[in-house]
C-alpha cells in the first residue's frame, strides 16, 4: 500500500513525465492561424506580458491557443499556450545553461560525467517547473527531462 506522501511523489513524477514526453514528442497537431482568429483577451494578455516579442506566430493546438515568439538580443525562443479566456496554461522557454538551478547542473555533472549541456528549456505549467536538456558527450547525445531538484524524470537517446 502506498502512503499519502509516496502517492503524491508518484503523481508528481508521473505528471512531470507526461509533460516531458509531450515536449520531447513535440506538438505535431498544431495548426497555424492568423492573429485575427485569436480571441482579443488572449492577444491582449500576450502583448501585455511580452511587449518585446518578435517573430510572433499563432497556432491552434486542440482547444488552446499557442504562440511562438522570440525575445531579447539572443532571440530566445518561447512557446506559450493560452485558454480562450487569455489565461496562460503552459510556458516553454529556451534558457541559457547558466540560468539552470544549481541542483540541476550538479545532478548532470554527477550523473552524466563527461557530458556537456548543449541546450536547456524551462517549462512552467501552473506552479510546476520542469527542464528539458540536451546533453552531449563525444559519442552520445541524450534529451533529458527533469525537475528543479535535479531529478531526471525521462531520458531519450537523441
Per residue in 7-40, pLDDT (tens digit) is 555 555 555 555 555 554 455 567 999 999 999 9
Mean pLDDT across the stretch 58-84? 95
Smallest CA-to-CA distance from 120 within 103, 156, 95 is with 95
Q: Whole-number mean pLDDT of the chain?
A: 87
Q: What is the pLDDT at residue 158?
A: 82
Instruction: Evaluate if residue 91 carries a pLDDT over 90.
Output: yes
**Backbone angles phi and psi of 136, in degrees to 5:** -140, 135
Q: How far apart are CA 1 and CA 12, in angstroms?
A: 18
Mean pLDDT across the stretch 68-81? 94
Q: What is the pLDDT at residue 92?
A: 96
Q: What is the pLDDT at residue 117?
A: 96
pLDDT band at 73 (very low <50, low <70, confident <90, very high): confident
Mean pLDDT across the stretch 63-71? 97
Please tell me the pTM assigned to this model: 0.79
Q: 110: helix, coil or strand?
A: helix
Per residue in 93-149, pLDDT (tens digit) is 999 999 999 999 999 999 999 999 999 999 999 999 999 999 999 999 999 999 999
Cell (9 digits) for 128: 510546476
Smallest CA-to-CA distance from 58 within 41, 43, 75, 40 is with 43
Cell (9 digits) for 38: 485569436
Amino acid at each position: 500500500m502506498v502512503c499519502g506522501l509516496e502517492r503524491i511523489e508518484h503523481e508528481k513524477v508521473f505528471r512531470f513525465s507526461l509533460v516531458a514526453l509531450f515536449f520531447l514528442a513535440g506538438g505535431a497537431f498544431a495548426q497555424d492561424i492568423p492573429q485575427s482568429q485569436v480571441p482579443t483577451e488572449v492577444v491582449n494578455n500576450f502583448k501585455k506580458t511580452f511587449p518585446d516579442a518578435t517573430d510572433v506566430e499563432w497556432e491552434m493546438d486542440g482547444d488552446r491557443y499557442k504562440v511562438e515568439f522570440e525575445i531579447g538580443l539572443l532571440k530566445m525562443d518561447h512557446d506559450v499556450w493560452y485558454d480562450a479566456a487569455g489565461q496562460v496554461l503552459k510556458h516553454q522557454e529556451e534558457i541559457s545553461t547558466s540560468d539552470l538551478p544549481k541542483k540541476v547542473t550538479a545532478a548532470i555533472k554527477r550523473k552524466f560525467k563527461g557530458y556537456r549541456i548543449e541546450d536547456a528549456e524551462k517549462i512552467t505549467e501552473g506552479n510546476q517547473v520542469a527542464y528539458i536538456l540536451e546533453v552531449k558527450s563525444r559519442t552520445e547525445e541524450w534529451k533529458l527531462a527533469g525537475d528543479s531538484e535535479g531529478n531526471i524524470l525521462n531520458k531519450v537517446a537523441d
